[in-house]
Amino acid sequence: MQQWISHLSEQEVGTVLPNESMAKYTTWKIGGPADALIVPENKEQLSKLVRILHKQNVPWMLVGKGSNMLVSDKGIRGAVIKLGKGFEQTEFMGTEVESGGGTSFVSLSMMAGKRGLTGMEFASGIPGTVGGAVYMNAGAHGSDVSRVFKSAEIVLENGELVTYGPDEMAFAYRHSVLHETKGIVAGVVFSLSEGSMEEIKASMAAFKDRRRSTQPLQMPCAGSVFRNPPGDYAARLIESAGLKGMRAGGAEVSEVHANFIVNTGQATAEDVLTLMEKIRETIRTQNGIVLVPEVFFVGER
C-alpha cells in the first residue's frame, strides 16, 4: 500500500478503500481501480482530507453518481473522493432550500415539487448529485442550475472552505468556474418560487414519460455523450448519419436515442472512446461540425 494511503487510513477523514474498482461508481459500469477511494462524512473531514492530499502532492478527483464520466480501463492514479451520507441532508426554509453536495438532484427536485415549490422541475431527470449539477450547470427543458442558484459552499484545492455566489460561479452552458478552479461543492442553496402543486406535478410527470419513451434507461449509459452544437441537436445529426446501432466492442449507439452510448454487457472504456471518435469523424466529414463531448474521460491512458 502506498504511504499516503496508509497515512490517510490513520486520519479522521472518512472511509478509505484502497484499490477500489470504479466500475461500481459509474452509470456506464465501466472503469478500472482507483489507488484509493475515500468517503468523508462531513465538511470537516472533507477539508482535512483535501489539505492532506494537497500537502502530499497526491492528485485527486471527485465522483458523484458517476453519471457523466468515463473511467479508464487502467483506473485512476491518486485519490478519488466520494461524498458520504452526511452530504445528503436537505433543509427547506420558505422558498429556499439548502442541500448537501452529495444529494440526488432528482430527489431534491421531487422534494421541492411536493412542497409546491417551482423552479426545479427540469432536474427531475438529471441523474447526478447536486454538487455535480452545479459543477456542470446541468440543465434540461429550457432551464438550468444557474436559474435557481443562490450560493454554494466549496472546499478549494488547498482545503479552504469558501462561499461562492452566482457571479463567482461564472455559469455558462454546461460550465462553471469549477472547470478552472478546482474545488468540491459541499453544499448549495437554491432559490425557488411558490407554485401550483398540480402544475408542478404535471410537468414532472410529462418529463418522466418523455424520458422513458426517448432514453435507454434500462441499459448502463451516461446520458448525452455530446453537447448540442449551436442551432442543432447532436442526436439529430447522429441519427441522420445512420449511426444508430453502430458498435465498437461492447459499446453501442443506442437505437432509442442516438446521443446515448450504451454498455451492452462487456464494454470497456476503449470501446466507448473508439465509438465516440467514429461518431465525431462521421459528423465532421458529413456536416463539417465538430461534436464536443459532454462526458468526461478520467484516469490513466
How does pLDDT run across 108-123, given as a tens digit for each residue?
999 999 999 999 999 8
Q: Which cell numbers hold the place of 13?
A: 477523514
Mean pLDDT of 60-80: 94
Q: In the annotation, is 224 catalytic?
A: yes
* Dihedral angle over CA of 201, 204, 207, 208, nearest 10: -90
Whether residue 144 is predicted with pLDDT greater than 80 in this model: the reply is yes
Q: What is the pLDDT of residue 213?
A: 66
Cα 104 to Cα 144: distance, rounded to the nearest angstrom: 16
Query: What is the location of CATH 3.30.43.10 in the chain?
Result: 3-82
Q: What is the pLDDT of residue 253?
A: 98
Q: In the annotation, is 294 catalytic?
A: yes
How does pLDDT run across 148-159, given as a tens digit for each residue?
999 999 999 999
The active-site residue out of 121, 224, 252, 254 is 224
The active-site residue out of 121, 124, 151, 174 is 174
Q: How far is CA 297 from CA 69, 75, 216, 253, 273, in A?
A: 6, 11, 21, 18, 9
Cα 123 to Cα 133: distance, rounded to the nearest angstrom: 9
Query: What is the location of CATH 3.90.78.10 in the chain?
Result: 216-292
Q: Does domain 88-200 have CATH number 3.30.465.10?
A: yes
How does pLDDT run across 190-238, given as a tens digit for each residue?
999 999 888 998 888 887 777 776 777 789 999 899 999 999 999 999 9
Write down the CATH number for the domain with range 216-292.
3.90.78.10
Q: Do the beta carbons of residue 77 and residue 59 sit within 8 Å?
A: yes
Terminal CA-to-CA distance of the chain, rounded, Å? 22
Q: What is the 3-state secondary structure (H, E, C) of 83-125?
A: CCHHHCCEEEECCEEEEECCCEHHHHHHHHHHCCEECCHHHHH
Give the three-state DSSP class for 144: strand
| Orientation angle between helical segments 197-214 and 105-114, nearest 10 degrees | 150
Q: What band does 135 get if pLDDT is binned at 50, 70 and 90?
A: very high
Beta bridge partners of 93: 96
| Residue 136 CB contacts under 8 Å (≥ 6 apart), including other chains | 68, 128, 145, 174, 175, 176
Cα 14 to Cα 81: distance, rounded to the nearest angstrom: 10
The active-site residue out of 41, 96, 157, 294 is 294
Q: In the annotation, is 280 catalytic?
A: no
Query: Percent of the chain having pLDDT more than 90?
Result: 83
How does pLDDT run across 172-192, given as a tens digit for each residue?
988 999 999 999 999 999 999
Whether residue 245 is predicted with pLDDT greater than 90 in this model: the reply is yes
Please list the helix, strand and coil fractions of the chain in percent, rounded to the nearest 5, in that order. Answer: 35, 25, 40
Whether residue 20 is predicted with pLDDT greater than 80 in this model: the reply is yes
3-82 adopts what CATH topology? 3.30.43
Q: What is the pLDDT of residue 1?
A: 59
Beta bridge partners of 298: 71
Q: Do the beta carbons of residue 62 and residue 80 sit within 8 Å?
A: yes
Which of 14, 12, 16, 17 minimizes the C-alpha distance to 40? 14
Whether residue 239 is predicted with pLDDT greater than 90 in this model: the reply is yes
Q: What band does 125 get if pLDDT is binned at 50, 70 and 90?
A: confident
Whether residue 31 is predicted with pLDDT greater than 90 in this model: the reply is yes
CB-neighbour burial class of residue 216 (10 A; exposed 0-12, middle 13-18, buried 19+): middle
